[in-house]
Structure 1
Amino acid sequence: MNYILADNQELTRFALENLLQQDETAVVYRAFDKAGLVALLKEHESAIVILDYTLFDFTDEDQLLIVAERFALSQWVLLSEDLTSRFLRRVVYSSHQFSVVFKDGPMQEIREALQSASRHNRYISQRALEAIISQQQEEDEQPSVLTNTETEIVKAIAQGKTTKEIASERFSSVHTITTHRKNIFRKLGVNTAHEVVKYALRAGLIDSSEFYI
């Protein structure tokens, strides 16, 4: 069985490698960006991909689904600290290739997800399932209104500025800006900065002339 670790968190990658190597037949490859992942999938089309979506360079779930569809024999285990209910519904409803577990969940869930993927079945953790079921109507509701500060931070994100740069310009701590970013992501129901900008453009929160990334 071929596995592709697409997780840029070193500690998690180390733990997963040790877990997978308990199976002497497992062959583990590493991917550090989308291009590298696609290259490995070309060589190992039926591999199991273990992906932390929030730490990888997929711009949105559409791009993720396109890659999964392109390599239809592959199985994917999404392993992240947190994923929005909107993202979970979109991915889970669009493809049976995806299993979902969380990094702070029980080890048994991760084992079961990997076992299910090896049998070409999917595994949805209880936490992910509850998020999907309990918020079915969330997509039809308007997100919470961004504050003026949050809108300004969205503009800065659109200009390609880092959290550190935004904190410096606003005379704030990196921790404060990180908290604002998390609140923005939660309100807009997104997982990445690119998705924030796409939403902000559609909603008219920022002008297209401010979009630089």
Structure 2
Amino acid sequence: MKTLVLADNQDVTCIGIETVWQLHGFGAGKGLRVFSEKELSEALLENRDAVVVLDYTLFDCTAEQLFVLKERFSGIHFILFSDSLSEDFVRRMVCGREGFSVLLKDSSLEEIKACFAAALEGRLFVCEKVSSWLYAKEKVKEEVLPLTSTEKEILRAMALGKSTKEIASERFLSVYTVMTHRKNIFRKLCVNNAHEAIRYALRAGLVDIVEYYI
């Protein structure tokens, strides 16, 4: 059976998780407690096929460190178990990598059991509350008016630091026309300035972040 590793400094949480793990037949014995990224690494060296229940908001570990651990220990399944997690963090962990499940501490017993079962099979699990929340966010994004191909190109040029005059010259347009496109971009994206529009371009993948910083 897989080893349960608890990366959480709350005793009551760890006792509860251990109880569910044992009573419902997911594993035997107490879970292994760790309190730092170093201790977690050492534990995983001895248990390369473990299920790690980790409270990211209480555990002293960055997202980058988690990605490194996942690359190093590919057989490990991480369950991010917390009171609250930011949208950006959840999307980064769930959509960008395999092997990270998400539970909230107010998840039902049935969801916790379903998450453990999925983890033992190497499947991703996201609790209903987080799934609904992410889906709602996606629906809001879909309601944003789509940019035309010209607007996307102008937004990309803005993100690369080009001035209105430079964009107009490159596209054989008048400065007034480019300014009109800029206003339409701001209106459609519901932003107030070029900085906010550029942030959208980076998030939407219209501009490669490496190219932007260069």
- TM-score normalised by structure 1 residue count: 0.60
Whether 1:89 aligns to 2:91 is: yes
Cα separation, 1, equivalents of 2:26 and 2:86: 35
Q: Distance in 2 between matches of 1:20 and 1:7?
A: 15
Does the C-alpha gap of structure 1 residues 25 and 12 become closer, same or farther in structure 2, counting only changes over 3 Å? Answer: closer
Describe the shift of the 1:108–1:66 C-alpha distance in structure 2 as closer, same or farther (beyond 3 A): same
Partner of 1:57, secondary structure, is coil
For the pair 1:45 / 2:69, whether they are aligned, the reply is no
Mapped to 1, the partners of 2:137 and 2:54 lie a distance apart of: 24
Report sequence identity in percent.
32
Residue type of the alignment partner of 1:102: L
Are residues 36 and 66 of structure 1, via their aligned partners in 2, closer, same or farther at CA, if it must alter by over 3 Å? same
Between the aligned partners of 2:131 and 2:6, the Cα distance in structure 1 is 24
Query: Residue 69 of structure 2 aligns with which residue?
Result: 67
Which deviates more from structure 2 when the two are superposed, residues 81-90 or residues 16-25?
16-25
* Equivalent runs, 1:11-22 vs 2, <5 Å: 11-22=12-23
- Please state how far the C-alpha of 1:129 moved relative to its aligned partner: 1.4
1:34-70 deviation per Cα after TM superposition (whole angstroms, max 9, x unaligned): 1111100011111000011100001x31222111221
C-alpha separation between the residues in 1 aligned to 2:4 and 2:11?
A: 16
TM-score by length of 2: 0.60
Please identify the structure whose Cα radius of gyration is greater.
2
Matched residues, number: 136
Instruction: Return the alpha-carbon distance in structure 1 between the equivalents of residues 20 and 6 of structure 2.
Output: 12
Higher RCO (CA 8 Å, separation ≥ 6 residues)? 1
2:198 aligned partner: none
CA contact (8 A) 2:70 2:76 kept: yes
Contact 2:26/2:117 (8 A) holds in 1: no
Letter paired with 1:47 = A
SS of 1:55 mapped into structure 2 = coil
Aligned runs of 1:5-16 on 2, under 5 Å?
5-16=6-17
- Displacement of 1:128: 1.4
Residue deviations 1:84-134, cap 9 Å, x none?
011000000121201111101211111100110001111111111123233
In 2: Cα distance, 1:9 partner to 1:119 partner: 27
Distance change >3 Å, CA 61–CA 119, structure 1 → 2: same
Q: Which runs of 5+ in 2 are unaligned?
A: 142-214
**Contact 1:3-1:26 at 8 Å conserved across structures:** no
Instruction: Report the 3-state secondary structure (helix = DSSP H, G, I; strand = E; otherwise coil) of the residue aligned with 1:45.
Output: coil
Relative distance call for 1:132 and 1:65 in structure 2 (3 A) is farther
Paired residue secondary structure (1:66) = helix
SS at match of 2:57: helix
Instruction: Give the letter for the 2:40 counterpart.
Output: L
Question: CA contact under 8 A between 2:44 and 2:50: conserved in structure 1?
Answer: yes
Superposed CA RMSD in Å reads 1.5
Q: Name the CA distance, whole Å, in 1 between partners of 2:110 and 2:86.
A: 23
**Where do 4+ consecutive residues of structure 1 move more than 4 Å?**
none
